[in-house]
């Protein structure tokens, strides 16, 4: 296993900037995810690391080696494709043996290694089947075993679970994480699915328009978005434009001192995001709240039932805030009721546009 | 029996009769020369009135016929191998390197042009282009002409199989596993487009082998093809010409089997993996 480093990497397709000056470091044995919507440049970045695309600017290192001019076959990578890319004319055994045969392993060694890999992906007994005789999940396991066969320095995975149904995706997600832990291989994973990214990764980079907007642990990326794009992409529902003055900020028609929020923000237009689960609902004004909290008074305007929880919409000074309450509490509320929303100041995330 | 049932039975009978008539006609047209190859006299009867093996004997003894057969085989073989190689490279370029949809469409339309033009026009154009060069007067001028007319068949055949297998991803998968582009092509791409490849080769062979218009205008004297031989003998002795056609049919069938067998054998070497 080796670390991967990208320094100021850019890629253009005609006049379109696919990847724009991306720099990042992936540590040895780390599970790193490039997360973003389609067209954000995550797959192009992965393909440049693999050697399928050549960067127009910047440097890519695998370990200590600058790989910009190395063809994919010389990079010792494993690549798992979205559509599996198994060789249709070869059996499961032959698919997994393919890279070992190229490395001129002995017959007995190939047999031993393939058996080991099939056991790793829980597909013992499937050696003689052809890809067309396997389900999508089984095909992707074979693809994973094949990619791991030559003991790659880096395992690159391009939305490997997106062609599978929801239940299988969750099952394979866990297995993928276990396999990566067992093998200790450095893994770079591309996905547009934030649940997948958060559950699998040690660190995440959120990409937008070819640039990296946030990098960090799943917890820090999720809980501390810095830009409007990241907050929206991570499904923060309550996002409002705010005016930041020299020392104060205007929120829901009230002025608050900036120092209360313990953030460094520039004067001018900004955005504030509040996660629905950080808003606490009261039917009467809460008492003894302390200086770390804000109370917002509003009227209930709508309710959406989601089983054990209900989403409620509260109008506060013309701003519509969404929050989640238990359905049993929601059943006691009527549209038009006066409600009080309690939110901690640290749960207000200031975002740059 | 109800009227609708009667109509149904009647329409079925008519369908079968029509189908039988079409098949009988195809067989008749194909087999007249075959039977004619053994005819000495055949004028007003269903089968020849007098049978003979002299036409076959003539075949084996006439140097012009054997020479023309050799020329046709040579030119058709070169045409099929060269055209398939060229278009395989073109298709690999299109699928591996070229993203632009416009370029794909342009190439697709361009290679179809020979289908829209009369063969005589292409022959004249080739003649005018290559006559002053060192190719003028050699059989290569005919190979070039045939490369033009076979291009729609070869390209379409290869293009459709290449689209079916997602050539780009398979090559990338093979390369990520340590195979160079050539190894990836031999071991992964060729076995998967095998049928398209053989189909394209056979089509190219058949079109080149059966061409008369271009051969008549472009083939040098020493390389007159078997279709020219058939044409010339047809006016001297129709049953001799039938014998040549019989020979052509046998050679075509044998060639088809041989090409399929050899290609399968050649490719089997590259896909062999330790079990």
Distance from CA of B259 to the nearest CA of A (A): 21
A88–B166 C-beta distance less than 8 A: no
**Which pLDDT belongs to residue B272?**
46
Q: Cβ contact (<8 Å) for A73 and B166? A: no
pTM: 0.80
Reduce the secondary structure of chain B to three states and give it as a string: CCHHHHHHHHHHHHHHHHHHHHHHHHHHHHHHHHHHCCEEECCCCCCCCEECCHHHHHHHHCHHHHHHHHHHHHHHHHHHHHHHHHHHHHHHHHHHCCCCHHHHHHHHHHCCHHHHCCHHHHHHHHHHHHCCCCCCCCCHHHHHHHHHHHHHHHHHHHHHHHHHHCHHHHHHHHHHCCCCHHHHHHHHHHHHCHHHHHHHHHHHHHHHHHCCHHHHHHCCHHHCCHHHHHHHHHHHCHHHHHHHHHHHHHHHHHHHHHHHHHHHHHHHHHHCCCC
The predicted-structure confidence for A29-40, as pLDDT tens digits, reads as follows: 999 999 999 999
B96 touches chain A (CB under 8 A): no
Write out chain B residues lying below 8 Å of A13, CB-based.
99
The answer to whether B166 contacts chain A (CB < 8 Å) is yes
Hey, are the CB atoms on A50 and B174 less than 8 Å from each other? no
Domain ranges for chain B, please list them.
Answer: 3-51, 56-274
Tokens 């067309």 — which residue?
Answer: A132
pLDDT on residue B275: 36
B175–A103 CB contact, under 8 Å: no
3-state secondary structure of A13: strand
Check: CB of residue A34 under 8 Å from CB of residue A197: no
In whole angstroms, give the CA distance from residue A296 to residue A39: 39
d(CA A185, CA B89): 37
Q: What is the mean pLDDT of chain B?
A: 86
Rounded to whole angstroms, the Cα distance separating A95 from A116 reads 14
CATH topology of domain B56-274: MetI-like fold (1.10.3720)
What local confidence, expressed as pLDDT, does residue A321 receive? 92
Residue A322: name the closest of A304, A334, A335 by CA: A304
- Whether A89 sits inside 8 A of B271 (CB atoms) is yes
Q: Which of A50, A86, A98 sits opposite B273 (nearest CB)?
A: A98
User: Which residues does B126 contact at the CB level (< 8 Å), separation at least 6?
Assistant: B141, B144, B145, B148, B214, B218
A147 contact residues in B (CB cutoff 8 A): 176-177
Instruction: Return per-residue pLDDT of chain B as tens, 275 residues.
Output: 788 889 999 999 999 999 999 998 888 777 787 888 888 888 877 788 888 888 888 888 888 888 999 999 999 999 999 999 999 999 989 888 877 788 888 988 998 898 888 888 888 888 888 888 887 778 899 999 999 999 999 999 898 888 888 889 999 999 999 999 999 998 999 888 888 888 899 889 989 998 998 998 888 888 899 899 888 888 888 888 888 888 888 888 888 788 777 777 666 654 543 33
Residues in chain A: 353
Residues on chain A bordering chain B, Cβ-to-Cβ distance under 8 angstroms? 13, 50-52, 71-73, 76-79, 81, 83, 85-90, 93-94, 97-99, 101-103, 107, 110-111, 146-147, 149-150, 156
Nearest chain A residue to B192, by CA: A89
Interface test with A, best of B164, B170, B178 (most A CBs within 10 A): B178
Residues 6 or more apart in contact with residue A179 via CB below 8 angstroms: A120, A121, A144, A148
Quick check: A51 and B191 CB within 8 A? no
Give the residue from chain B lying closest to A99, CA to CA. B177
Residue whose tokens read 């099939």: A118
Q: CA nearest B267 in A: which residue?
A: A89
A125 min Cα distance to partner chain B (Å) = 14
Q: Nearest 5°: phi and psi at A219?
A: -65, -50
Residues from chain A that touch B169, judged by Cβ atoms under 8 A, are 81, 83, 85
C-alpha of A33 from chain center: 6
In 3D, which of B59, B55, B57 has the Cα closest to residue B69? B59
């Amino acid at each position: 296993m080796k670390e991967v480093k990208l320094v100021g990497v850019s890629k253009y397709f005609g006049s379109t900037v696919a990847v724009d000056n991306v720099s990042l470091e992936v540590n040895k044995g780390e599970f790193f995810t490039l997360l973003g919507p389609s067209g954000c440049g995550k797959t192009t970045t992965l393909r440049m690391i693999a050697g399928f695309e050549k960067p127009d600017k910047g440097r890519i290192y695998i370990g200590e080696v600058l790989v910009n001019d190395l063809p994919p076959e010389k990079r010792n990578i494993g690549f798992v494709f979205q559509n599996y890319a198994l060789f249709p004319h070869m059996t499961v055994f032959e698919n997994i043996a393919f890279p070992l045969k190229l490395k001129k392993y002995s017959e007995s060694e190939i047999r031993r290694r393939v058996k080991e890999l099939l056991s790793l992906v829980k597909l013992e007994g499937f050696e003689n089947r052809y890809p067309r005789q396997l389900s999508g999940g089984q095909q992707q396991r074979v693809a994973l075993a094949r990619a791991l066969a030559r003991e790659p320095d880096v395992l690159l995975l391009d939305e490997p679970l997106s062609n599978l149904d929801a239940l299988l995706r969750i099952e394979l997600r866990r297995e993928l994480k276990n396999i990566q832990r067992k093998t200790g291989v450095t893994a770079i994973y591309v996905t547009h699915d934030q649940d997948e990214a958060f559950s699998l990764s040690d660190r995440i980079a959120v990409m937008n328009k070819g640039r990296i907007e946030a990098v960090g642990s799943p917890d820090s990326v999720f809980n501390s978005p810095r830009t409007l794009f990241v907050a929206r992409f991570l499904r923060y529902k309550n996002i409002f434009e705010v005016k930041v003055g020299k020392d104060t900020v205007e929120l829901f028609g009230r002025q608050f001192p900036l120092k209360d929020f313990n953030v460094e923000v520039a004067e001018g237009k900004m955005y504030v995001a509040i996660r629905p689960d950080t808003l606490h609902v009261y039917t009467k004004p809460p008492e003894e709240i302390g200086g770390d909290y804000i109370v917002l008074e509003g009227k209930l305007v709508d309710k959406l039932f989601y089983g054990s929880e209900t989403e409620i919409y509260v109008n506060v000074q013309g701003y519509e805030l969404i929050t989640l309450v238990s359905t049993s509490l929601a059943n006691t509320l009527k549209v038009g009721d006066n409600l009080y929303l309690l939110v901690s100041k640290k749960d207000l995330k200031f975002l740059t546009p | 029996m109800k009227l609708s049932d009667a109509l149904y039975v009647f329409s079925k009978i008519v369908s079968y009769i029509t189908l039988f008539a079409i098949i009988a006609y195809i067989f008749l047209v194909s087999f007249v020369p075959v039977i004619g190859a053994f005819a000495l006299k055949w004028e007003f009867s269903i089968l020849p009135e007098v049978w003979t093996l002299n036409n076959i004997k003539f075949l084996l003894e006439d140097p012009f016929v054997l020479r023309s057969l050799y020329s046709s085989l040579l030119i058709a073989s070169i045409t099929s191998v060269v055209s398939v190689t060229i278009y395989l490279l073109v298709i690999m370029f299109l699928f591996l390197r070229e993203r632009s949809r416009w370029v794909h469409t342009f190439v697709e339309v361009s290679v179809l042009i020979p289908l829209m033009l009369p063969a005589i026009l292409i022959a004249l154009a080739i003649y005018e282009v290559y006559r002053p060069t060192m190719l003028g007067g050699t059989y290569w001028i005919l190979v070039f002409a045939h490369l033009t007319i076979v291009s729609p068949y070869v390209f379409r055949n290869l293009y459709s199989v290449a689209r079916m297998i997602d050539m780009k991803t398979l090559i990338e998968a093979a390369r990520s596993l340590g195979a160079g582009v050539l190894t990836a092509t031999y071991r992964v791409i060729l076995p998967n487009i095998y049928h398209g490849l053989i189909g394209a080769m056979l089509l190219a062979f058949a079109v080149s082998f059966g061409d008369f218009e271009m051969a008549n205008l472009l083939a040098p004297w020493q390389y007159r093809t078997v279709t020219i031989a058939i044409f010339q003998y047809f006016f001297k002795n129709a049953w001799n010409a039938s014998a040549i056609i019989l020979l052509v049919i046998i050679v075509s069938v044998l060639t088809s089997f041989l090409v399929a067998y050899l290609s399968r054998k050649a490719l089997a070497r590259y896909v062999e993996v330790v079990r």
